[in-house]
């Protein structure tokens, strides 16, 4: 695997035809910022919804795939990770864009520092309703049954699931949808790392933790609903940047 001096991390773009401003920001990011780096990691919820790789022909999806392929053809190493909206991204999409699909969790060597990469939803352990939903949709049997449906039906079901999610979120206390501190500490311990990068919570920040007497750093990536942003890392460290 090639390593580069500069690595970029993004997540929670939620790209969809219904959100053209976010799409435009992403294409500008690919044109002006991503080519400066050797590595680009997309840590989930790249799309608002992904109902299967056979949806690649949809015009926006085809445009995004072509733009990513240009980037990888020019030498950028692209890695994708599933989120809670695009957990059905598969090898066909990765082959079309020249990307590698990372299993979650993943530990990479980032500027000499072993770094844990997650989408972030597994850390929200206080949200029991969501964790039950996550377990259901990540089940291979559920996914196979979903993908066996006609694509129009899959789109309709995805809209229903998103609508249900928005209704339920409005009834929850904000704190239960954030990362649980014990879940974060356990992830640091289990993977033996001092740095973690994830998205999902839409609360971009650098968080400092003490776990078993050792300092640990957790970076939370921004969503792209408004200004958008990314994390840039090199051998000197990491920095959250706006677009």
Domains contained in the chain, CATH given = 7-242 (3.60.21.10)
- 120: alpha, beta or left? (left if phi > 0; alpha if psi -120 to 50): left
pTM of the model: 0.94
Strand intervals (E) in the chain: 7-10, 39-43, 77-81, 99-102, 106-110, 113-117, 195-198, 205-211, 214-220, 229-234, 237-242
The yes-or-no verdict on residue 157 having pLDDT over 60 is yes
As a whole number, the mean pLDDT across the chain is 94
Reported as a single tens digit per residue, the pLDDT across 51-83 is 999 999 999 999 999 999 999 999 999 999 999
The yes-or-no verdict on residue 229 having pLDDT over 90 is yes
Q: Lowest-confidence range among 149-153, 164-168, 198-202, 216-220?
A: 164-168
């Amino acid at each position: 695997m090639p390593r580069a001096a500069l690595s970029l991390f993004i997540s929670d773009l939620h790209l969809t035809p219904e959100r053209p401003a976010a799409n435009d920001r992403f294409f500008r990011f690919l044109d002006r910022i991503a080519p400066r780096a050797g590595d680009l990691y997309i840590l989930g919820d790249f799309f608002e919804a992904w109902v299967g790789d056979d949806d690649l022909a949809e015009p926006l999806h085809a445009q995004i795939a072509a733009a990513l392929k240009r980037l990888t053809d020019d030498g950028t190493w692209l890695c994708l990770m599933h989120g809670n909206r695009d957990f059905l991204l598969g090898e066909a999409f990765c082959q079309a864009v020249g990307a590698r699909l990372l299993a979650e969790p993943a530990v990479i060597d980032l500027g000499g520092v072993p770094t844990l990469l997650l989408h972030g939803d597994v850390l929200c352990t206080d949200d029991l309703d969501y964790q039950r939903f996550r377990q259901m949709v990540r089940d291979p049997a559920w996914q196979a049954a979903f993908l066996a449906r006609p694509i129009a039906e899959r789109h309709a079901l995805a809209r229903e699931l998103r609508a249900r999610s928005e209704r339920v979120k409005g009834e929850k206390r904000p704190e239960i949808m954030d990362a649980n501190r014990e879940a974060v500490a356990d992830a640091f311990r289990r993977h033996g790392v001092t740095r973690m990068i994830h998205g999902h919570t839409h609360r971009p920040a650098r968080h400092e933790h003490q776990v078993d007497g050792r300092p640990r750093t957790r970076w939370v990536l921004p969503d792209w609903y408004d200004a958008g942003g990314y994390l840039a890392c090199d051998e000197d460290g990491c920095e959250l940047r706006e677009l």
